[in-house]
Amino acid sequence: MNTRAQIRRLEDGRRVHMQDGPIDLIVEAFGEPGEVDRAYRAAAGRFVSVLDELCGELTFLRQATRPESATPDGSVARRMMEAVRPHAARHFITPMAAVAGAVAEEILDAMISTSQLARAYVNDGGDIALHLTPGENFVVGMMEYPEPDSKHPQHSEHPMPGTTTITLDYPVRGVATSGWRGRSFSLGVADAVTVLAETAPMADAAATIIGNAVDLPGHPAIVRARACDLAPDSDLGDRMVTQAVAPLLLDEIQRALDAGIHEAECLRSLGLIRAAALTLQGEMRIVDGATSLFFKPNGVEAFSNSRSLVHA
């Protein structure tokens, strides 16, 4: 029996907070009260064993994935592998790149497979799995930095540089953000890469890959350190991870974003993402093909919308 996990309703009485070790979820379901309660019970029931399952094959999940890598045992781990495998031929990636999205999707699945819900989401530290039914949608707000950071007070005044509305017919059920300031290490310099994809683990893996691609190799303004020197058991081993980025020149910012855009376009053409927004030192670039319904700038009216979902 897991006695570490903490599960409680937040003060608003609607959302549920679940935490176990490094996993931190905000869960909210919409529907008939009885259905919502049942969904939360199902989510909690599934949640309590997730961390132990993952840790059971953690060594394998921290190893670089190859196209021919074996399939792991656990259902969350399988979601992770499935999401990172398509990247493995072209990039270094481990299943851990999709862990947050995979946990979010697993918990969401537990809810919607037991309850009739109009909408639901599971937010795992900014990596979000969504559930929609006809007539429902989500407004997702995007942060410039993936982690609230007291060094960037403008954060509070301009909380969301953009929002997007996810509707039932738009095939996006996963949103993820990666950036060097975030909780996970990044090989790149993007402040934030937000990705919309068909599933949360797909979005999570792609955000990592695109975030790594936004880079200026060898640039002196970027402070890097070996991941293993910071966290001895990091899945990134001796790869150099970004620790600080000094102010860059505009053309350098463009060059770094171009590299990320190139990768994002590539993933879009492969069907691995639907859209992405990349930010670096105040500059934002968007990849969303012809859909153009993505990321309307500063949708202030969306803030008062009770259906808005602050993300990151």
Partner 1 sequence: MSDDAIRCDACPVLCYIKPGRTGSCDRYGNSDGQLVRLDPHVVLDRALSRGDSVVPFLQKARDWDGSLVSGEDTFITAIGAGTTYPDYKPAPFIISSQVEGVNMVTVVTEGIFSYCGVKLKIDTDRHLGAECSTVLAQGEPVGHVTTNEYGSQMVSLGGVRHLTGGSRHEGTVTCETLLDLSNGKAVELEIENGAKVVVQAGKAPVVDGVQEERMRVGCGSATIGMFAKQWFGKVDEVVVVDDHITGVLSEHQAGKLLGVPETGIRMKGRRSTPGRYFRVAEPGTSWGGTNIADPLSILDPFDPASARPGLRLLMVSTTGEHSAYYELDEALRPIEKKLPEALQQSVARIRENCEPALCTVLFMGGAGGSLRAGVTENPVKLTHSVGRALTRVTCGGAPVYIWPGGGITFMVDVTRMPENAFGYVPTPALVAPIEFTLKLSDYAALGGYMDSVKPLASFRQNEESRKRVAARPENPWPIKPEKTEQ
The residue ranges that bind partner 1 (CB under 8 A) are 3-4, 6-8, 11, 17, 19-22, 24, 51-52, 55, 58, 150, 153, 156, 183, 229-233
Least Å distance, CB 177 to partner 1, is 16
Least Å distance, CB 119 to partner 1, is 25
Q: Which is nearer to partner 1, 25 or 132 (CB)?
A: 25
- Distance from CA of residue 277 to its chain's centroid? 13
d(C-alpha 256, C-alpha 217), whole Å: 9
Find the helix or strand (DSSP H, E) in which 192 lies.
strand 192-197
d(C-alpha 168, C-alpha 54), whole Å: 31
| Two tokens, residue 295 | 């990321």
* List of E strands, 92-191: 119-124, 127-132, 137-142, 162-167, 174-178
Q: Which is nearer to partner 1, 112 or 228 (CB)?
A: 228
d(C-alpha 83, C-alpha 65), whole Å: 11
C-alpha atoms less than 13 angstroms from C-alpha of 74 in its C-beta half-sphere? 21
Least Å distance, CB 71 to partner 1, is 22
Q: Which residue, among 169, 195, 215, has the nearest Cα to 98 in the 3D structure? A: 195
Least Å distance, CB 29 to partner 1, is 19
Q: Which is nearer to partner 1, 210 or 227 (CB)?
A: 227
6 with 17: CB under 8 angstroms? yes
Least Å distance, CB 207 to partner 1, is 18
Q: Which is nearer to partner 1, 17 or 224 (CB)?
A: 17
178 with 207: CB under 8 angstroms? yes
Least Å distance, CB 55 to partner 1, is 4
Q: Which is nearer to partner 1, 20 or 144 (CB)?
A: 20
Q: Which is nearer to partner 1, 52 or 136 (CB)?
A: 52
